[in-house]
Homo-oligomer: A and B are copies of this chain.
Amino acid sequence: MRKIYNFSAGPAVLPEEVLQQAREEMLDWHGSGMSVMEMSHRGKEFTSIADKAESALRELANIPANYKVLFLQGGASSQFAMVPMNLLGKKGKADYVNTGQWSAKAISEARNYGSVHIAASSENEGFNAAPPLEQWRISPDTVYVHYTPNETIGGVEFQWTPDLSAAPGNHDNIPLVADMSSNFLSRPFDVSKFGLIYAGAQKNVGPAGLVVVIIREDLLDIAPLAGTPTMYRYKTHADNVSMYNTPPTYAIYIMGLVMEWLKKQGGLAVIEQRNIAKAKLIYDLIDTSSFYHCPVNPADRSRMNVPFTLSKPGLDDAFLKQAQAHGLIQLKGHRSVGGMRASIYNAMSLEGVQTLVTCMREFEKNHA
């Protein structure tokens, strides 16, 4: 067992069993004599690895047959452009929900390609809440609605999947697009409610350098905007089973190991219960203490990223130092927010969170 607990927001902690298996197979995958890094992406060894990773993901997330799974590169930041370039089509108008820094980035990039309407925003609440569906004002001529189910920096998470047909107005057939990077596979979710989901791998899925896209097949029929690079067209990758060019093979391999680990844990429903329990430990401490503070509306608090501040100024460095002494690392808050942030993705153990909570109590006792 390792002696540290890594609360990094991403790249983030991976299951120890996954790293151990990767270590064992580093020089010789299944008697092939090759490291996975050395395999031709078109050879039978690697295609079996990629197929298995996709099958396990499909099983875990119960992905319907009319959705393609794509293994792409360039992170969510590339998706911010790929989504509008591929989906805006002739109508050229999309709705976005603005809940913080990551949705703002998606909005800013989309504006380069068409008309963006902000359907809802939590800006007036300091980006500390998820706007309720009855406040959404969706344009009648929008081609999709984009939102960010979990804001990694702000620590705001939608605890519900928007049902656009229930929003004010008539929007029965508008595809919902989600940047699920930081809560992907942390709980069950109904893929059929979405047109397109994307998720950078480096939170709950695997190493950086891989972004998973789940796209409903009919959306592949929209003609991309003129000037969309071949590598930025979803159809390029869908038509070539993510092998139009060399995919990030080792990241896909690690993702496959993480999927097997998730299945062994009991799948997404079991992981969700564990994530609820982990988050509750920290939020309960914060809410019963006058020393720690979390600015996020309690109903919209993230199970993945817990930002918190210390009530007394100037203690941050001392807190980080004590945490480090307990083996608790990467707790410093995002540079734009300050304070602390505990990212507690699937691979963070309950024991790690308990150790953090013990450390927080001890620090409070000594400094309150």
Contacts and interface: CB of A to CB of B under 8 A. Distances in A.
Nearest to A84: B229
Indicate the member of A3, A20, A23, A229 with the most B CB atoms within 10 Å: A229
Contact of A37 (B11, B28, B37, B39): B11
Indicate the member of A3, A9, A10, A209 with the most B CB atoms within 10 Å: A209
B26 A248 contact: no
Interface in A21-57: 22-23, 26-28, 32-35, 37-41, 43
A248 B14 CA distance: 16
Interface stretch (A72-80, A130-138, A359-367): A72-80
A309 interface: no
A34 B246 CA distance: 28
A12 interface: yes
A77 B245 contact: yes
B73 A75 contact: yes
Contacts of A11: 37-41, 246, 249
Contacts of A225: 227
A306 interface: no
Indicate the member of A6, A38, A244 with the most B CB atoms within 10 Å: A38
Contact of A80 (B9, B230, B247): B230
Given A6-B33, A19-B26, A231-B81, A41 B246 contact: no
- Interface majority SS (helix, strand, loop, mixed), chain A: loop
Contacts of A231: 74-75, 77-78, 80-81
B246 A208 contact: yes
A250 B209 contact: yes
Contact of A8 (B8, B39, B75, B76): B39
Given A6-B38, A14-B38, A73-B75, A248 B85 contact: no
Given A8-B43, A80-B230, A248-B209, A2 B19 contact: no
Contacts of A73: 73-75, 78, 209, 248
A189 interface: no
A10 to B, nearest CB: 7
A307 interface: no
Nearest to A229: B81
A251 interface: yes
Given A19-B27, A207-B249, A208-B247, 15 more contacts: A8-B43, A11-B37, A11-B249, A13-B34, A13-B38, A14-B38, A20-B27, A23-B26, A33-B327, A37-B254, A73-B73, A74-B74, A81-B232, A85-B229, A202-B246
15 contacts: A2-B33, A8-B39, A9-B40, A11-B37, A11-B40, A22-B26, A23-B23, A26-B26, A37-B206, A41-B208, A73-B73, A73-B75, A202-B249, A209-B248, A229-B229
The 8 A-B residue pairs with the shortest CB-CB distance in the complex, in nearest-first order: A209-B248, A4-B33, A81-B229, A77-B245, A23-B26, A73-B73, A37-B207, A209-B209
Interface of A: 2-4, 6, 8-14, 16, 19-20, 22-23, 26-28, 32-35, 37-41, 43, 73-78, 80-82, 85, 109, 112-113, 200, 202, 206-210, 225, 227, 229-232, 244-251, 254, 327, 329-330
